[in-house]
Amino acid sequence: MNCLDAATRAHIVHCLIEGCSVRATCRMTGAAKGTVIKLLADLGAACARFHNEHVRNLRVRRLQCDEIWSFVGAKRKNATVEQRYYGWGDIWTWIGIDADTKLVVSYLVGGRDAGWALEFMEDCASRIVGRVQVTTDAHAPYLKAVEGAFGLEVDYAMLQKIYGAPSDEEQRRYSPAKCIGCEMKTVLGYPDPEHVSTSYVERQNLTLRMSSRRFTRLTNGFSKKAANHAHAVALHYMHYNFCRVHQSLRVTPAMEAGLASTPWSVDDLIALLPKPVAKSSKNDWKILRKALGESA
């Protein structure tokens, strides 16, 4: 990234976090596609490392969890066996959010089966101190995952939405059926019924779809590689937690959770990148060897 000046680098990151596709970012900044992808990969990895190291020891009273769908390359039903082998198909992002501070405690990009559910819930549990009330939807793998991660030291309830009959309209293929009610099921402990909800995490799903082009439906901006998809998610949640002032809180979620004292800027995000190390050329080695009296 040595060829990029600070202003161009910041411009690229601004475009990516505001929902622009990679090619649109290239057109607006004049950067090459490979340059934009490399910056996204480097910065996404740096954001993931920072989140993993610093978003810990959290006092969370109410944790809401959900998962959001997207795809890489093609939807699973349209991908060939060979394409699936290379990572194409459906991909899910697991999200856990603190209902009070609106901090995204944990996120995980992968599949949607029991193994991924357990890995996600274990990561949530490792970041939270004390007893917590957890609310999820009725996705079955959560049952064993929550108990496996938190044990019996948790108040856990499932919230199952009840949908009406599908509409006969043509738009039904792009819109879910109408929700006509919810059913709460207590699984562990004694969850407070007034706070059994997944509203905040579902609103965060909308924020993700609006802020990352890779999640926008009916476009060609979807991810072509699973690794780049994960990097984009890491960048989004780092910006959401530390840079973006929440409208209702009037501070960033990280500030509300006590992880930061002021909102971060894009320059602060870019500062997470590792410092470049200058590489020695072959000519430098030849000069050094001559200085030591060795034969070239």
Average pLDDT taken over every residue of the chain: 90
What pLDDT is recorded for position 4?
82
pLDDT at 156 over 80: yes
The answer to whether residue 295 is domain-embedded is: no
Cα gap 130→135, rounded to integer Å:
16
What pLDDT is recorded for position 161?
77
Q: Could you tell me the residue range of the domain that residue 209 belongs to?
A: 54-259
pLDDT at 163 over 60: yes
pLDDT at 266 over 90: yes
At 133, give phi and psi (nearest 5°). -100, 125
What pLDDT is recorded for position 3?
65
**pLDDT band at residue 182 using 50, 70 and 90 as cut-offs:** confident
The answer to whether residue 191 is domain-embedded is: yes
Of the candidate ranges 14-23, 261-270, 282-291, the one whose mean pLDDT is the lowest:
282-291
Higher pLDDT, 288 or 180: 180
78-103 mean pLDDT: 95
The answer to whether residue 271 is domain-embedded is: no
**pLDDT band at residue 1 using 50, 70 and 90 as cut-offs:** very low
What pLDDT is recorded for position 60?
97
- Give the CA distances from residue 93 to residues 71, 201, 210, in Å, rounded to whole numbers and listed in that order: 10, 12, 15
The answer to whether residue 170 is domain-embedded is: yes
- Give the CA distances from residue 200 to residues 5, 8, 65, in Å, rounded to whole numbers and listed in that order: 38, 34, 9
How many percent of the chain have pLDDT more than 90?
78
Cα gap 63→73, rounded to integer Å:
32
157-170 mean pLDDT: 74
Cα gap 40→229, rounded to integer Å:
10
Total structural domains within the chain: 1
What pLDDT is recorded for position 43?
97
67-85 mean pLDDT: 93
**pLDDT band at residue 19 using 50, 70 and 90 as cut-offs:** very high
117-140 mean pLDDT: 97
The CATH number that applies at residue 96 is 3.30.420.10
**Do 53 and 204 contact (CB within 8 A), yes or no?**
no
- Give Cα 76 distance to the centre of its chain: 21
The answer to whether residue 283 is domain-embedded is: no
pLDDT at 112 over 60: yes
Nearest alpha-carbon partner for 193 in 184, 203, 202, 201 = 184
pLDDT at 29 over 50: yes
- Give per-residue pLDDT as tens, 192-238: 999 999 999 999 999 999 999 999 988 889 999 999 999 999 999 99
Cα gap 232→227, rounded to integer Å:
9
The answer to whether residue 3 is domain-embedded is: no
What pLDDT is recorded for position 289?
64
Residues 6+ apart with CB under 8 A from 34: none
**pLDDT band at residue 50 using 50, 70 and 90 as cut-offs:** very high
**pLDDT band at residue 282 using 50, 70 and 90 as cut-offs:** low
What pLDDT is recorded for position 129?
96
Nearest alpha-carbon partner for 159 in 195, 131, 124, 107 = 195
Residues 6+ apart with CB under 8 A from 75: 89, 90
The answer to whether residue 15 is domain-embedded is: no
The answer to whether residue 120 is domain-embedded is: yes
pTM equals 0.88
How many percent of the chain have pLDDT more than 70?
88
Nearest alpha-carbon partner for 44 in 270, 215, 243, 223 = 270
